[in-house]
Structure 1
Amino acid sequence: MEKTLIQPSIAALISSAIAIIYYRRKSLDLYGALVLFLSMTIHFAVGYRFGAMLLIFFCTSSKLIEDGEEKKRRMEAGLKDGRPNSWKRVLLNSGVAAVLSVAVGCLTGWEDKCLDSNESVLVTRLIGGIIGHYACCNGDSWSSEIGILSSERPWLITTSRRVRRGTNGGVTKIGHLSASAAGIVVGQTFALVGLHTTSCFDRMGMKELLVVPVSMVAGLLGSMIRSLLGATLQFSGFCVVRKKVVEKPGPTVRRISGCNYLGNDAVNLISILLTTLITSTACVYIF
């Protein structure tokens, strides 16, 4: 009963505070704030570790996007679409993990469980999926926002040909490092919060810290999957009139790479799903 009453109340308080703060800062519209509140409440109500991963992803990514917005506007015509302020964007970046969190809660009786395949392969797979989800989202966000602002000119991940900044599928060394660092942050958040809210370190020992390198690899993997999809199934071109990289073909647009099959949201969703699946499977064998 204590778990049932207290933790959801704390979850709602934390989530409402975060949603209100970002709504007032105009980082979220009203519906975006509502979806964030609901999703974050679900995460925290099931497990503090899950809510903390969503929180660290959302806060760091929002900060990076806001800091780089002015410089990116000079390079990309479609900047406005990339801001995480709508309910669709928030749902895209947290919806799958919210569903997995509910599944974990239902299977465990809303009790915190460890990454331990000997206890439950399915629960370990689901928790691993949530970790992979946020490592992917954070890795993609950090690599995109930091990589595009680096002095290094990106190269296309499929051909290694140098391309303009803002090209889908364009990668840089600093972008790869940023994706790895973003994954590490997610893994560390999971481990540190778990240290104070669960008994997993007492049961699993230092093996629990393996979540950090797993999350690091997931962050880099998610970013690379996103880049591969962007370079092949997402159009990139250079508009000779606006002098910017654009994502739609047109009479004034010179093709750089890719085909006009998928948009940003579809590419992001596929990369999230693939990384979630791969990480969940890996965790079964590691833990």
Structure 2
Amino acid sequence: MAMEALRVVLAMLVAAMVAARGLAHKSLSPSGAITGFIVLSLTMSAGARLGALILAFYYSSSKLTKYKAEEKRNVDEESKEGGQRDWSQVLANSLVATVLSIFVAYFTSWQDKCLDTKRNPVATGLLGGILGYYACCTGDTWSSELGVLSKSQPRLITTLQVVPRGTNGGVSLLGLLAAASGGAFIGLTFFLMGMLTAECESQIRSEQWKAVPLGGIAGLLGSLMDSLLGATAQYSGHCVVRKKIVGKPGPTVRRISGFDILSNNAVNAISASLTSLTAAATCLYLFREL
């Protein structure tokens, strides 16, 4: 019991430092910093590997958000200085995974487990879901932040017609490669941390590398789901006055695609949740005969 209490205290200290740094560097708004502190405290308390996933997503995404930020602001009105993620954006990219992390800690008695359907079926499914969720969020963010800088014009995923950069549902080769890379980065983080923290037999351990390509596939799949929802249920228009892509209709806005049904946060949460479910089922299949 004392070890669990120490883990929670350490998790809260790390979460406080990360939140304070995010606030100082303007990658988090005040509400985002508070929400991030709660989310990271709960996730790191559930396990060091799970905490590493959310940190890998957060820091890599923040770095890419700042990359050529001025150029992005000239294209997309939603691009903000340093990212400035608020509470709603933090929850959209972490709520489901945080809940799954708490369940993992409960079902494994706070012990990190390898992916192994035969011996740890519940933990394998939950861990796969968490991996898929953060792979999707990371892949989609990498795709958005780098894809908008592509030299080639993106194409709408539903019709393949050329659309302006920053259009919801627009895809490019650079963006798709970035999505797969972001997901694989999460998969690699999951695999390497598992080698340090999870106890399992050598035969099972030797198969854990499958988390890396699984992460890459989840990142790409999640980004495609996000693009499909963005092209249909999320409004995109071009403001002739500001000469930017905007997400709301208006008298000076020419509609490009989609309908004003879902917000960007809702699209992110839905696509990540669907990817999480898919990755959980895939994990149960891949690691069924170890």
TM-score bracket relative to the smaller structure? over 0.9
> Could you tell me which residue of structure 2 aligns to residue 62 of structure 1?
62
Q: Which runs of 5+ in 1 are unaligned?
A: none
1:22 and 2:22 matched: yes
More helix by share: 1
1:165 and 1:32 map into 2 onto residues whose CA distance is: 27
Counterparts of 1:80-95 in structure 2 under 5 Å?
Answer: 80=80, 83-95=83-95
With structure 2 as the length reference, what TM-score do the two structures score?
A: 0.94
Find the counterpart in structure 1 of residue 249 from structure 2: 249
Asked if structure 2 preserves the Cα contact closer than 8 Å seen for 1:201 and 1:208, the reply is no
Letter in 1 for 2:19: A
Q: Please report the TM-score for the alignment, with normalisation by the length of structure 1.
A: 0.95
Residues of 2 paired with 1:78 and 1:9: CA distance? 36
**For 2:161 and 2:178, how far apart are their aligned partners in 1?**
21
Moved more, 224-233 or 64-73: 64-73
RMSD of the TM alignment (CA)?
1.6
Shift of 1:80: 3.9
Whether 1:199 aligns to 2:210 is no
Return 5+ residue gaps in structure 2 as ranges. none
Q: How far apart in 1 are the matches of 2:268 and 2:126?
A: 20
Summarize the Cα distance change of 1:112–1:215 in structure 2 as closer, same or farther, 3 Å threshold: same
1:279 aligns with 2:279: yes
1:237 to partner: Cα distance? 1.1
Give how far 1:35 is off.
Answer: 1.4
Q: Where does residue 159 of structure 2 map in the other structure?
A: 159
Alpha-carbon displacement from aligned partner over 1:82-121 (angstroms, at most 9, x marks no partner): 9342112112111111100001111111111121110132
Moved more, 91-100 or 78-87: 78-87
% identical equivalent positions: 47
CA distance in 2 between counterparts of 1:2 and 1:274 reads 37
Whichever residue aligns with residue 197 of structure 2, its letter is: T
- Count of matched residue positions in the alignment of Structure 1 and Structure 2: 287
CA distance in 2, matches of 1:20, 1:201: 40
Q: Secondary structure at the match of 2:237?
A: strand
Question: Partner amino acid for 2:171?
Answer: V
Task: Tell me the CA shift for residue 68 of structure 1.
Answer: 3.2
* Matching of residues 103-142 of structure 1 within 5 Å: 103-142=103-142
Report the residue type matching 1:236 in the other structure: S
Report the equivalent of 1:78.
Answer: 78
| CA deviation after TM superposition for structure 1 residue 254, in Å | 1.4
Distance (Å, rounded) in 2 between the aligned partners of 1:132 and 1:259? 27
| Alpha-carbon distance between aligned partners in 1 of 2:106 and 2:99, rounded to the nearest angstrom | 11
